[in-house]
Amino acid sequence: MTKLKVAVLISGGGTNLQALIDACAGDDFPAEIILVLSNKADAYGLQRAKKAGINTSVINHKDFSSREKFDQKMDEVIKSAGAEFICMAGFMRLLSEWFVEKWFDKLINIHPSLLPDFKGLNAQKQAFDAGVKTAGCTVHFVRKEMDEGPIIVQKSVEVKKDDTADSLAAKILEKEHEAYVEALRVYCVR
């Protein structure tokens, strides 16, 4: 089986990355991770990648004078690794229009809300504070506007009376792991 070659962009702990690593370990999963790229050298997700024998790269955005220059470097590294598709998994940088156009429909993101509700940072707390009864997560194609783009998979969780913002975020994160694996599979077999 020819597997889709995927680069995963991270900035932190990488539990979504781990879910993708675990799924990709299956012989019948249609994708493989060939690169994990972080803008932070201390992102724990890099350890997860190394443990799984996946190549890693750190590109510190602070070393570049503009967003475009940082994105050009990422593009260069991703291309030379041979990636055909990109998953953003807790990557905390906005991408330039140039990068988004270059990877149009080959670049997906996960966001911890039922988009189009609660875009931006701390989406889980935004949902909790708004008092919604149902929260969740979304995997979507990336467009130039933040947290916009065609939706691939959404999963919801019930907000219970005894939930706190933190317990809700933890429930959403569990669903994220399922949603991301499902979205990547759906993309590959479409």
Task: Quote the least distance from Cβ 173 to ligand GRF, whole Å.
Answer: 6
- The letter for the amino acid at 97 is E
> Which residue is nearest to ligand GRF, using beta carbons?
90
Q: Is 111 a catalytic residue?
A: yes
Give whichever of 71 and 176 is closer to ligand GRF, judged by the CB atom. Answer: 176
CB distance 141 to 170 below 8 Å: no
Residue indicated by tokens 């962009």: 9
From 61, 111, 140, 177, the catalytic residue: 111
Task: Quote the least distance from Cβ 14 to ligand GRF, whole Å.
Answer: 5
Give whichever of 82 and 130 is closer to ligand GRF, judged by the CB atom. Answer: 130
Q: What is the Cα 104 distance to its own chain's centre?
A: 15
Task: Quote the least distance from Cβ 124 to ligand GRF, whole Å.
Answer: 7
At 56 the three-state DSSP class reads strand
CB distance 150 to 187 below 8 Å: no
Under the rule (CB under 6 A), what is the footprint of ligand GRF? 12-17, 89-90, 110-112, 173, 176
Written as one string, the DSSP assignment of 93-108 is SPPPHHHHHHTTTSEE
Give whichever of 71 and 147 is closer to ligand GRF, judged by the CB atom. Answer: 147
Task: Quote the least distance from Cβ 70 to ligand GRF, whole Å.
Answer: 18
Give whichever of 57 and 72 is closer to ligand GRF, judged by the CB atom. Answer: 57
- The helix, strand and coil proportions of the chain, stated in percent and rounded to the nearest 5, come to 40, 25, 40
Catalytic residue numbers, as ranges: 111
